[in-house]
Amino acid sequence: MPAIEVGRVCYKTRGREVGRKCVIVDIVDENTVLVTGPKSLTGVRRRRVNISHIVSLDKVVQINKGASDEEVMKAIEAAGLVDFMRERVKLEKALA
């Protein structure tokens, strides 16, 4: 089970979308992936993200590489993950 693969559900740990879940749509290079929420569901718009700024979860949706937001949404609905994707992950701040 690779941690970074197309269709893998993950959540963001950095930026304005911290704690929001997203789906990996494409692997750009060894450090960067393309993710989408889609925005209408989770608030995460399609964007490139450094893999050190996401944490992958154990859930995977069946999509093709480069799938559109509509295709991702249909796959999420088919997998029964709509309510799961809407929930935000509560992150604890690291003690400095």
Tens digit of pLDDT per residue, the chain (96 long)?
A: 678 999 999 999 999 999 999 999 999 999 999 999 999 999 999 999 999 999 999 999 999 999 999 999 999 999 999 999 999 988 776 544
Ranges of each domain in the chain: 8-85
Task: Give the model's pLDDT for residue 90.
Answer: 86
Task: Give the model's pLDDT for residue 91.
Answer: 78
- What 32-35 contacts at long range (C-beta under 8 Å, 24+ apart), as own/partner pairs, is 33/4, 34/66, 35/10
CATH architecture assigned to 8-85? Roll (2.30)
Helix (H) or strand (E) holding 84: helix 82-86
Tell me the C-alpha distance between 91 and 12, whole Å. Answer: 10
